[in-house]
Structure 1
Amino acid sequence: MSEKSTADRIDAPAVVAPPQHPAVAIWRSATADDVELIMDLVQAADRIDHPSWLTPREDVEETFESSWIDPIRDTILGLDAEGRAVAMGGVMVHPSRDHHLHAYFTGRVHPELRGRGIGRELMRWEHERALQALAELDSPLPAAIFVYAEETDVAARHLAERRGLREERWFSTMVRDLALEIPTIEQTMDVGASAIDIVVYDSSRKEAARLARNDAFRDHWGSLETPPERWSQFVDGPFLRPDLSWLAVEDDRIVAFALGSVNEEDWAVQGYSSVYIDLIGVTRDRRGRRLAPVVITALLRAARAAGLEKAVLDVDTESPTGANSLYGRLGFEPTERSVALVAHH
């Protein structure tokens, strides 16, 4: 914790000037009425930036539904002379603000207009707004600004570095063919330990699963606790598949989990049907009992029984739990990579 507050130690502008570019006729805040415009832009950008998956409409809608985001101040939308959305930026300060402050920004420029300087102006706005948002919290807590980029998005990485962010952590997408043999894993039992049951997720365990997630990820890089509202958006959303989400339960407490979701819109661009494993974790007091591979293989079997062809996940390549090595042993193979660029304040 710093002796100075973010208001004192962060050099943030009092007013963030909107981007300026001759190819963009209007810059304004985005509203919920703009979702269709935004989706047209997002879909055009997705085909170039990450052709193996698509941004769900629900993710865009959450910008206007989340209590911790102020769309008037935290979004910017660029329209051309015909009213088409050609650029968009957004800033979010993580709603968990008890121990660290994390701000994130993301932006899109229509592929037809890239290479003209719009992205530079857009990222300038995003970065300045992120600095302003952290400074306004007037907090002594350590703060950081994050932007994530695909390895192939050299332009975005370069622009972020020009804004003072540095590449700090790499993440790998890994894919497993469900036609391959799925090993049988036996959990390791401690002497005198209670029996641990492996069960599917159901909504009655919603809060227990959130608490388990927060415990399991407390020592993971860049992770903050997930508050109830944000957790509800995930587990009550349209993509989580309870039948493909498995828990290890000990005395009614969740001690390990592998939660899977399905977005069928991804299948056309992937070329196969798949389950995405959103979260895998083991509470810190139950690590070392092989619970992670137990719940993962339960999920893999369920996905295969459901007729899906592959399982996909993303992993921190420097995970303190050695997760990337575990996934390799379970038959996952790395495909794409992304990087987190960070500025600490």
Structure 2
Amino acid sequence: MPSIVPLLPPGYRARPASTDDIPAIHALVTRCEREAYGRVQSDAGAVAADFQRPGLVPESDTVLVLDRSGRLAARAWVNRRSEVDVHPEHRGRGLGAALLDWAQARARQVDGDSVVQTVPDADPAAAALLRSRGYQPMVTAWLLEFAMPVEPTVPEPPTDVTVRPFRVGDGPAAHVLVQDAFDEWQERREAYEEWATHTIERPSFASNRSTLAFAGGQLVGAALALDVPGTGEGYIEQVAVRHDQRGRGIGRLLLRHTFRAFHQAGRRSCTLWTHSDTGALDLYLRVGMTVRHSSTVFRKDLRA
């Protein structure tokens, strides 16, 4: 059982999650996404990847909340970051507050310095709850989309740059490229196994729609794509360009190649997430993407 049991309203009970619960958790997450965004964004692979986070112990770092009939009403996990999802039919009963307090207590129990939560800007009640618990805004995240009623054009590559789809064996080089590119804003480098679990080893990874750029025989850019079931659109999980190759149009080139690959597969839009720390929003807007919706990442300092 969890080291700390959340204090739940009458009629609910809690237990830890396991990998057997992935389908039920995914159903809950997608129900919450439809409520917040009007459409599904996640696949079961994203839920499965959370169980592989380094240091996460499902027995103590995850909680499922079940109603009287045994149906999943809410869930949470904490591992530096935290996620809390409450089924729309069970909101307004204190489940979100109980799980938020549980996540904070669990983070303190393992000597965490802080805990981070992300909420859609379209959900002011969730933001107010976080603020009432002492959370402060950290960054803004945007989901951008590129509409493709016709096949996107692709620019000519810069001199000495070649482009091709992702192949088996490209993982290690892509991992180093992404970690180096993200060093300027991410809190820590991800080990290969953790990174791969969230990207190239996910069932929805679309290798033939993921684009790599090479200069002088070296990997200098990557756009790693997912084909998320049930969404009807393409999704780009990560975009990275080597520092010394920026400003040459490689990012735009990678995006356009990936957009075109999704269009040829019958998709008529493609999306990706970015946030204010990456400094990449202007690039995506120049490519022709637009903001579909935004979220705010909140952080609470547990040392105070």
1:61–1:181 CA distance, 2 compared to 1 (3 A):
closer
Tell me, yes or no, if the aligned pair for 1:105 and 1:130 is still in contact at 8 Å.
no
Name the % identity: 25
Does residue 47 (structure 1) correspond to residue 53 (structure 2)? The answer is no
How many Å separate the matches in 1 of 2:141 and 2:31?
24
1:306–1:81 CA distance, 2 compared to 1 (3 A):
closer
Question: Where does residue 213 of structure 1 map in the other structure?
Answer: 178
Tell me, yes or no, if the aligned pair for 2:181 and 2:240 is still in contact at 8 Å.
yes
Instruction: Using the TM superposition, give the Cα deviation of residue 229 of structure 1 relative to its aligned residue in structure 2, in angstroms.
Output: 1.2
Which ranges in structure 1 are unaligned for 5 or more consecutive residues? 1-14, 93-102, 136-142, 190-194, 268-273
Instruction: Using the TM superposition, give the Cα deviation of residue 54 of structure 1 relative to its aligned residue in structure 2, in angstroms.
Output: 3.9
Tell me, yes or no, if the aligned pair for 1:186 and 1:290 is still in contact at 8 Å.
no
What amino acid does structure 2 have at the position aligned with 1:339?
T
Does residue 289 (structure 1) correspond to residue 254 (structure 2)? The answer is no
Please give the root-mean-square deviation of Cα atoms over the aligned residues, in Å.
Answer: 2.2
Of 324, 331, 335 in structure 1, the residue corresponding to residue 281 of structure 2 is 324
What amino acid does structure 1 have at the position aligned with 2:92?
G
Q: TM-score, normalised by structure 2?
A: 0.90
Aligned residues: 300
1:44–1:125 CA distance, 2 compared to 1 (3 A):
same
What amino acid does structure 2 have at the position aligned with 1:157?
A
How many Å separate the matches in 1 of 2:102 and 2:123?
19
1:151–1:26 CA distance, 2 compared to 1 (3 A):
same
Q: 1:193-204 counterparts in 2 under 5 A?
A: 195-204=160-169
What amino acid does structure 2 have at the position aligned with 1:288?
G
Question: Where does residue 145 of structure 2 map in the other structure?
Answer: 175
Tell me, yes or no, if the aligned pair for 2:154 and 2:257 is still in contact at 8 Å.
no
Of 203, 213, 226 in structure 1, the residue corresponding to residue 190 of structure 2 is 226
The range that moved more, 20-29 or 165-174, is 20-29
Tell me, yes or no, if the aligned pair for 2:52 and 2:194 is still in contact at 8 Å.
no
1:319–1:31 CA distance, 2 compared to 1 (3 A):
closer
Of 265, 269, 288 in structure 2, the residue corresponding to residue 310 of structure 1 is 269
Instruction: Using the TM superposition, give the Cα deviation of residue 72 of structure 1 relative to its aligned residue in structure 2, in angstroms.
Output: 0.5
SS in 2 for 1:235: coil
Instruction: Using the TM superposition, give the Cα deviation of residue 30 of structure 1 relative to its aligned residue in structure 2, in angstroms.
Output: 1.6
Question: Where does residue 334 of structure 1 map in the other structure?
Answer: 291
Instruction: Using the TM superposition, give the Cα deviation of residue 45 of structure 1 relative to its aligned residue in structure 2, in angstroms.
Output: 2.5
Tell me, yes or no, if the aligned pair for 1:23 and 1:80 is still in contact at 8 Å.
no
Q: TM-score, normalised by structure 1?
A: 0.80
Please say which structure displays the higher CA radius of gyration: 1
SS in 2 for 1:108: strand
Q: Deviations over 1:183-230 (max 9, x none)?
A: 4434555xxxxx22211111211100000001111113x453221111
Which ranges in structure 2 are unaligned for 5 or more consecutive residues? none
How many Å separate the matches in 1 of 2:151 and 2:46?
34
What amino acid does structure 1 have at the position aligned with 2:16?
S
Q: Deviations over 1:49-105 (max 9, x none)?
A: 33322432223333445553200010011122221121211012xxxxxxxxxx101
Question: Where does residue 124 of structure 2 map in the other structure?
Answer: 154
How many Å separate the matches in 2 of 1:114 and 1:67?
31
The range that moved more, 45-54 or 198-207, is 45-54
Tell me, yes or no, if the aligned pair for 1:168 and 1:342 is still in contact at 8 Å.
yes
Tell me, yes or no, if the aligned pair for 2:166 and 2:212 is still in contact at 8 Å.
yes
How many Å separate the matches in 1 of 2:168 and 2:11?
46
